[in-house]
Amino acid sequence: TGTGTVRAALGGPVVYAHRGASAYAPENTLDAIDLAMQMGFPWVENDVQRTKDGVLVVIHDDTLARTTDVEQRFPGRAPWKVKDFTWAEISRLDAGSWFGDEYAGASVPSLRQYLDRVQRNQQRLLLEIKKPELYPGIEEQTLKVLDEAGWLDERHVTKRLVVQSFSADSVRIVHGLRPDLVTAFLGTPTVADLPRYAEFTDRINPWHTTISADWVAAVHALLGAHGKAMEVDTWIVDDAATARKVQAMGVDGIITNAPDVVQEAVGGF
């Protein structure tokens, strides 16, 4: 995969900028992916959800409260669920000030806006379908937006894009709709259960506290949905000691808010 190529070039695990370079810029904004690129990190991770009127947007929480000024702008609309606000409303929120005054005016991007910026930056995307149980049909809709933005062309699909979810059902649906697409399951299946996952996905992406070298080896021993050894990208590792620990376990990638810290720890550029 493209991930493998990058890893070989760098001589260590691939470093993914989680929600963009989110230790240094407001998560899931265009500023956060631009900063990741400026720092030298082509791979960015994001979270996709859906507005009331059916627009896919990039935001982590299922409410707008933590990362926007929605409480001030719409005080009567608690609990400020993403799915209860229209795109016209969400697109005008300030998604940067909570992080720092210098980011005032940053907005919640639509998935299409986000894809176009990743494309312009020549970056690569680890796209998470977040809370799909809240958004029936979001898998098919996400693929449609990816297709419209040119992301399902052959030259991209296996090189620049991985789709992941905590929902095994969602990953299975994506694989069924676009079998050529590389996918990942977020979680830590038991070694006994891993073969069931290998039928529909290529990568297993676990929380770092849940893994061991033996577990990573058990994943690597399996052939995934595309007939290649399965890979492991672990999250969220923001300190050097933990980065070295998971590197020693043999992970293929590390998903981090502080990509510079992790890259330095696992071998620099």
User: Tokens at residue 109, please?
Assistant: 């991007």
**Cα–Cα dist 42/228, whole Å:** 23
| Triad 205, 111, 199: Cα angle to 5° | 35
60 is catalytic: yes
Whichever of 68 and 74 has its CB closer to ligand G3P, that residue is: 68
Task: Find which of ligand G3P, Ca ion, none residue 85 binds, CB within 5 to 8 Å per kind.
Answer: none
Integer CA distances (angstroms), 35 to 46, 56, 112, 199, in order:
14, 23, 19, 36
Task: Find which of ligand G3P, Ca ion, none residue 255 binds, CB within 5 to 8 Å per kind.
Answer: ligand G3P
Choices 46-54, 79-87, 133-141, 256-264 (CB under 5 A): range interacting with Ca ion: 46-54
Whichever of 31 and 47 has its CB closer to ligand G3P, that residue is: 47
Q: Does 45 bind ligand G3P (CB under 6 A)?
A: yes
Binding mask 236-255 for ligand G3P (x = CB under 6 A): -------------------x
Task: Find which of Ca ion, ligand G3P, none residue 160 binds, CB within 5 to 8 Å per kind.
Answer: none
Task: Find which of ligand G3P, Ca ion, none residue 235 binds, CB within 5 to 8 Å per kind.
Answer: ligand G3P
**Cα–Cα dist 262/18, whole Å:** 12
Binder of ligand G3P out of 47, 94, 231, 252 (CB under 6 A): 47
**Cα–Cα dist 30/49, whole Å:** 16
Q: Does 260 bind Ca ion (CB under 5 A)?
A: no
Beta bridge partners of 207: 235
Q: Does 128 bind ligand G3P (CB under 6 A)?
A: yes
Are 48 and 42 contacting, i.e. CB atoms less than 8 angstroms apart?
Answer: no
Binding mask 147-166 for ligand G3P (x = CB under 6 A): --------------------
81 exposure class (CB count in 10 Å sphere: 0-12, 13-18, 19+) = middle
Query: From the centroid of its chain, how far is CA 59?
Result: 11
Binder of Ca ion out of 128, 139, 233, 260 (CB under 5 A): 128
Helix (H, G, I), strand (E, B) or coil at 196: helix
Q: How many helices (H) and strands (E) does the chain have?
A: 12, 9
Task: Please report, as ranges, the residues that interact with ligand G3P according to CB under 6 A.
Answer: 18, 45, 47, 60, 128, 186, 235, 255
Q: Which residues are catalytic?
A: 18, 60
Task: Please report, as ranges, the residues that interact with Ca ion according to CB under 5 A.
Answer: 47, 128
